[in-house]
Amino acid sequence: MTTPLRRFGSVSEGLTFEAGLFSAQGPQVGLWTADANALVCPRAYETRNGFAQAASLSSTRGWPVHVRPTGGGTVPQGRGMANLALSFDAPEGFTIEDGYRLLTRIFRAGLRVETLDIGNTPGSFCDGDWNLSINGRKLVGTAQRWRPTHHGSPRVLAHAMVLVSGDIASGADSVSAFHRDLGLSPVKADVHTSLCSATHHTDLPAENLLAAARGELAHLSNPMNFSTKETNHIHRHHPHPS
C-alpha cells in the first residue's frame, strides 16, 4: 500500500507518480522529492495572456514550469521540498474538511511538532486556509482533488508539500518572477520557514510520516474516526488583516 521516500530526477516524474496513485485502486500513499528545481502551477494559468513566454523565461532562470490539474497557486519544487500524497475512496459522510483534518493529524503525528497553526499565511506562495505554520511562518501547504467514480465513492487525492530545508528565498523569488511576467502578485520569502530551521529536525522524518499516513488510511472505513474537532496542539490561526 505504501512506497518509501521516492527521489525523482524531475518534478514531472513526481507529478506522474502522484497521478498513478490517484488512478490506482484502494488506499495509496507516497512521499517524494525531486532533484531538479521547477515551478508547478494550476493548468488554468495556461489560458492567461503571456503564459508561454513567462514559462520560457522561468525556464531560462533554471525553474521550468509544469502544470497540475488542481487549483491554488504557483509553488516551487526541488531539493529541500517533499510531497506527501494520499489517495483513497472517500467513505460516506467524508468531506473536504475531513480530508484537510486528516492531513493535519498526519503531520502532527509524523513531524512530532508541538504546535502547528492552521490558516492563511498572507504573502506565501499558494496561500490557503489549511496551511500549517510555525510561529506565523508557512511550513506545509495542502491541497485536494476529488473525482467521481463508477461505484459511487469519490476518489480523493490529498496532497501536502513540506519545506524541509535549504534556500527558501530562491524558490520564493522564482515564483515572484514568474508571477511578475504573468501580471500576478509577488510572494514574500520571509513568511515561510523550513522544518530544519524551525525545529530540532535535521531531515524529514519520512518513516514517521508514512506510518502516520498508513494509520489514518487504515481507519477511514470507520466513520467514528472522522473528527470534526481539531485536536490539541493544532491551533486554528486567524491572521489579522494587514
**Which residues fall within 8 angstroms of residue 192, CB to CB, at 6 or more apart?**
121, 124, 125, 137, 138, 139, 163, 168, 172
Q: How far apart are CA 159 and CA 146, in angstroms?
A: 11
Task: Write down the catalytic residue from 86, 90, 126, 217.
Answer: 126
* Beta-sheet pairing, 75-77 with 116-118: unpaired
The three-state (H, E, C) secondary structure of 142-191, written as one string: EEEEEECCCCCCCEEEEEEEEECCCCHHHHHHHHHHHHHHHCCCCCCHHH
Q: How far apart are CA 213 and CA 228, in angstroms?
A: 18
Q: Is 126 a catalytic residue?
A: yes
Compute CA distances 142 → 103, 128, 202, whole Å.
8, 8, 22
Residues with a known catalytic role: 126
